[in-house]
A = this chain, B = another copy of it.
């Protein structure tokens, strides 16, 4: 499927894919699901006017798909643009792109196992990027958190910025901090949740926010007590189930979008 090629370009990214199938037409259902994912994230309170979700092109692993620059709740299938992994739009046709699309491109380069990426500023999660308290998995639906969640501080490498991951270098630095994890926090900004399918990335973005809300209450309660969060083994075992039985949530959410827009 994906064909890593080292040093193919003069860019700073360390791993590349050879473009073998550019502009391959996609199933209508898949594009509709990606647009629906934007609306699901808005309906679940994970994104507001900002944030975005992308999908690696299923037939061309060196391409990804994401909406034009638009509030997630308004996205339709017609708003989806194809990008190469340097985050250049292939078929923009005058449509504008998200400034932070490099989050997506650089993660797809660094992690062939990831097929979908969500970036959000979901409010309960932000505090964990501001103080030295790690996110922990409070319940089995957030099992993916048990592997650990690193924090990316853009200031460390880039000094005072507008905080946005607005070029390839910044995307690369974020992907490097994320490493082999599936979620990464961004100091004073937000977070990124990834997965091997669109459904799993959306599921993880939603339950990162739900888990953070629960962890706030748990830590307020505990006052020095031991917190019996999921350990790494429990996390691994429960995460596997979430990726199958957990799809019941996607069915519900997708059903709600369909009732609203008829696609």
A262 beta carbon closer than 8 Å to chain B: no
A117 beta carbon closer than 8 Å to chain B: no
Q: Is the CB of B126 within 8 A of A214?
A: yes
Q: Is the CB of B123 within 8 A of A71?
A: no
Q: Is the CB of B138 within 8 A of A230?
A: no
Q: List A residues at the B interface (Cβ < 8 Å).
A: 48-50, 69-71, 73-74, 99, 121, 123-124, 126-133, 137-141, 143, 153, 155, 160-164, 187-190, 210, 213-214, 216-222, 225-231, 233-234, 237-238, 240-241, 245-246, 248-253, 255
Instruction: For A207, give the chain B residue with the smallest CB separation.
Output: B48
* Interchain CA distance A162-B252 in the complex, whole Å: 23
A145 CB to nearest chain B CB (Å): 11
CB-CB under 8 A for A234 and B188, given A227-B131, A252-B74: yes
Q: Is the CB of A225 within 8 A of B132?
A: yes
Instruction: For A162, give the chain B residue with the smallest CB separation.
Output: B237
Q: Is the CB of A123 within 8 A of B216?
A: no
* Interchain CA distance A160-B251 in the complex, whole Å: 29
Residues of B within 8 A of A233 (CB): 160
Q: Is the CB of A49 within 8 A of B253?
A: yes
